[in-house]
């Protein structure tokens, strides 16, 4: 049997015929004409190389092969029906689902951390698999199903992918509490003279768009450490006299160790959104996860 050519509707017809054992009754149950069901039965006989149902005095009698098929066929179709229903009417309290999310370490802390806590309360059967965000591979990963959802700047997404805005992020200046030089209202010159940690996601760089903005104001900052991860920055700043510009949501719960103030000059922020492939768009569970993230970000 060539399963690639097998029509799922034929299996539904076979199940109904085996239960009703009558073409007329099966046609009524399927809301089809009797000739249409008879034609489907002929196709099934060809596919299974078996009569399947033999005319009897009253209705039809299943063959031995047909009787062997009935239970596994019913189980398979029940599983398909349950899958369709679960995707249409997703019940987070009962669902079993794994969602693969690609994002930077900053968004793991700002979005995924509160999401996972929320899921444990509302959807304990939903698991989250984190992947590093690789923009060069994202399209292919989503097509293959390796990544279900990406958290990123929506403008960087391929036009073929779906996007939804979550929030606008801004940069704040952080230093340890009781820092000897950090205070509200510092000047641009004072900022430029402090030992600073910067983040270079590509690794090792000491120049960012902030330096261009400073140069336009006639200043150059003293970057002494280039980190590859935002998560590392608050920790080292809290135990030193270094300062750093970081996304605000990264340090909202660090008031016990950090002083957080506005940058003394305008620094362009960035948008954060969700990106997903069309294959995930109609999936009930995936849709519920996206709405949960939107709700969570609106209240944090």
- Tell me, what's the pLDDT at 2? 54
Condensed to tens digits (0 to 9), the pLDDT of residues 236-249 reads 999 999 999 999 99
Strands (E), the chain: 53-55, 60-62, 97-103, 126-132, 149-152, 162-169, 171-176, 195-199, 222-227, 243-247, 258-261, 270-276
Query: pTM value?
Result: 0.70
Structural tokens at position 50: 């078996």
Burial of 261 (0-12, 13-18, 19+ CB in 10 A): middle
Residue with the two structure tokens 């069901």:
37
Q: Which residues contact 58 (CB under 8 A, 6 or more apart)?
A: none
pLDDT for residue 200: 87
Strands 171-176, 258-261: parallel, antiparallel or unpaired by DSSP?
antiparallel
- Domains with residue ranges and CATH for the chain: 8-87 (1.10.10.10), 93-169+271-298 (3.40.190.10), 171-267 (3.40.190.10)
3-state secondary structure (DSSP) of residue 160: coil
State whether residue 33 is helix, strand or coil.
coil
What pLDDT score does 283 carry? 86
What pLDDT, in 10s, does the model give residues 15-54? Answer: 899 888 899 989 998 999 999 999 999 999 998 899 999 9
């Amino acid at each position: 049997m060539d399963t690639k050519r097998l029509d799922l509707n034929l299996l539904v017809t076979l199940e109904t015929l085996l239960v009703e054992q009558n073409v007329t009754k099966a046609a009524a149950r399927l809301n089809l004409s009797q000739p249409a069901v008879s034609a489907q039965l002929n196709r099934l006989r060809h596919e299974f190389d078996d009569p399947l149902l033999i005319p009897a005095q009253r209705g039809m009698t299943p063959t031995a092969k047909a009787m062997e098929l009935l239970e596994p066929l019913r189980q398979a179709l029940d599983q398909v029906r349950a899958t369709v229903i679960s995707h249409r009417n997703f019940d987070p309290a009962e669902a079993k689902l794994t969602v693969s999310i690609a994002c930077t370490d900053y968004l793991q802390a700002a979005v995924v951390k509160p999401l996972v806590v929320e899921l444990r309360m509302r959807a304990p059967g939903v698991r989250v698999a984190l992947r590093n965000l690789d923009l060069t591979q994202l399209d292919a990963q989503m097509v293959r199903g390796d990544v279900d959802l990406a958290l990123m700047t929506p403008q960087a997404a391929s036009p073929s992918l779906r996007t939804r805005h979550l929030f606008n992020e801004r940069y704040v200046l952080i230093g340890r509490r009781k820092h000897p030089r950090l205070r509200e209202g510092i000047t641009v010159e004072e900022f430029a003279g402090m030992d600073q940690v910067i983040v270079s996601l590509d690794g090792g760089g000491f120049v960012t768009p902030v330096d261009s903005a400073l140069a336009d104001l006639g200043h150059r900052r003293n970057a002494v450490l280039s980190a590859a991860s935002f998560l590392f920055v608050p920790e080292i700043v809290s135990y030193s006299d270094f300062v750093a510009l970081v996304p605000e949501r990264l340090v909202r719960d660090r008031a016990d160790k950090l002083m957080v103030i506005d940058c003394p000059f305008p620094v362009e922020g960035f948008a954060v959104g969700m990106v997903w492939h069309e294959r995930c768009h109609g999936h009930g569970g995936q849709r519920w996860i996206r709405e949960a993230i939107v709700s969570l970000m609106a209240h944090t």
